[in-house]
């Protein structure tokens, strides 16, 4: 069976459309509360008047989760939001370092 050039072109596009898949990524708020450029934009609780927008997680391979970490990191206390390919669960760890008065 011979196809006309127009039919061949349509058939080629149909085959490509079935073979190619679309890829999408998630978007998460990505910020750190200790960022001096955007202070008070990344607190533990986000209000409606923040200026930051969710950004694409294309830079993280297999990103499937938006993570909010509140507590000790980078030598202090704060909140950090980021993309992750790992499910870190939904739990809290309370940490008390030697010499600390409080649990964090």
Q: What is the pLDDT of residues 29-41, one digit of tens each?
A: 999 988 888 778 8
The per-residue pLDDT for 22 is 67
Residue 104 pLDDT level (bands cut at 50, 70, 90): low
The per-residue pLDDT for 1 is 66
What does the domain layout of the chain look like in residue ranges? 25-84
The per-residue pLDDT for 102 is 67
pTM of the model: 0.65
The per-residue pLDDT for 23 is 66
Residues 6 or more apart in contact with residue 59 via CB below 8 angstroms: 83
The per-residue pLDDT for 103 is 65
Residue 60 has pLDDT above 70, yes or no: yes
């Amino acid at each position: 069976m011979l196809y006309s050039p127009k039919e061949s072109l349509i058939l080629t596009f149909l085959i490509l459309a079935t073979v190619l898949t679309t890829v999408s990524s998630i978007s998460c708020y990505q910020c750190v509360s200790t960022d001096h450029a955007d202070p008070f934009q990344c607190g533990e609780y986000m209000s409606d008047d923040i200026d930051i927008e969710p950004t694409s997680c294309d830079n993280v391979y297999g990103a499937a989760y938006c993570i909010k970490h509140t507590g000790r990191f980078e030598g202090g206390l704060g909140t950090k939001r980021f993309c992750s390919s790992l499910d870190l669960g939904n739990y809290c760890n309370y940490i008390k370092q030697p010499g600390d008065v409080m649990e964090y």
